[in-house]
C-alpha cells in the first residue's frame, strides 16, 4: 500500500513540475526582452527543472524534462535546423537539468552553494555554443557572443531563485 501511494505521489509531483515548467515557458515567451531573435531566451522555466531534479532525484528529474520537452512546442517556438540539432539543443541541453541532483551542494559561511545551478547551465551553454558553430554556421566568437548573454542571465536568475525555493519549500535532496 505504501509503495503504490508513494508512486502516485511521485507521478503527481512529476506532472506538477512539468506543468509549472510549461506555464513559466509560456510566460517567458510573452516577454520580448527575454527572447533572442534566432532562438534562446533567459530561461525562467529551467528553475523548475533544477528544483525537480534536486527534489525528486535524477531519474524523475529527467522524466520531468522529457515530459516538458514533449509539451514545450505548445508554448514556445522550437528553433532547430534538423533532427540532430534538436536532439543536441533540446534533449541533451535540457536533459542536463534533469541530472542536476548529481552535482553537490556545499556551504560557504553557512550559505548553501548549489553547484547544480552553475554546472548544468555551463554544460547547456557549451552545448549551444557548439551547436551555433556546427549547425548554425557561426564562428566560435559569434556563437559565444550570441549564446553567452542569455545563458549568463539564466544562470544568475537560477542562482538567485533556486536556493530561495529550496529553502522556503524545505525540499530535501533526493
Give the tens place of pLDDT for each residue, 49-84: 999 999 999 999 999 999 999 999 998 888 889 999
In a domain, 43, yes or no: yes
In a domain, 113, yes or no: yes
pLDDT averaged over every residue in the chain: 90
Give tens-digit pLDDT for 134-168.
999 999 999 999 999 999 999 999 999 999 998 88
In a domain, 30, yes or no: yes
Residue 87: give the domain boundaries.
2-168
CATH code where residue 78 lies:
1.10.1760.20
In a domain, 173, yes or no: no
In a domain, 83, yes or no: yes
Triad 87, 159, 28: Cα angle to 5°: 55
Which of these, 173, 66, 82, 71, lies nearest to 136 by C-alpha position?
Answer: 82
pTM of the model: 0.90
In a domain, 162, yes or no: yes
In a domain, 120, yes or no: yes
Report how many domains make up the chain: 1
In this predicted structure, what is the pLDDT of residue 129? 97
In a domain, 147, yes or no: yes
**pLDDT at residue 1 above 60?**
no
Amino acid at each position: 500500500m505504501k509503495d503504490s501511494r508513494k508512486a502516485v505521489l511521485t507521478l503527481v509531483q512529476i506532472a506538477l513540475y512539468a506543468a509549472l515548467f510549461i506555464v513559466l515557458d509560456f510566460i517567458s515567451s510573452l516577454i520580448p526582452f527575454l527572447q533572442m531573435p534566432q532562438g534562446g531566451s533567459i530561461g525562467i522555466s529551467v528553475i523548475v527543472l533544477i528544483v525537480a531534479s534536486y527534489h525528486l532525484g535524477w531519474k524523475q528529474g529527467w522524466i520531468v524534462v522529457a515530459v516538458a520537452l514533449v509539451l514545450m512546442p505548445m508554448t514556445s517556438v522550437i528553433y532547430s535546423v534538423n533532427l540532430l540539432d534538436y536532439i543536441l539543443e533540446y534533449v541533451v541541453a535540457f536533459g542536463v537539468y534533469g541530472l542536476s541532483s548529481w552535482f553537490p551542494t556545499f556551504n560557504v559561511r553557512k550559505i548553501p552553494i548549489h553547484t547544480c545551478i552553475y554546472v548544468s547551465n555551463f554544460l547547456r551553454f557549451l552545448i549551444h555554443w557548439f551547436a551555433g558553430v556546427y549547425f548554425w554556421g557561426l564562428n566560435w566568437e559569434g556563437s559565444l557572443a550570441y549564446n553567452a548573454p542569455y545563458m549568463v542571465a539564466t544562470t544568475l536568475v537560477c542562482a538567485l531563485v533556486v536556493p530561495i525555493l529550496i529553502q522556503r519549500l524545505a525540499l530535501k535532496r533526493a
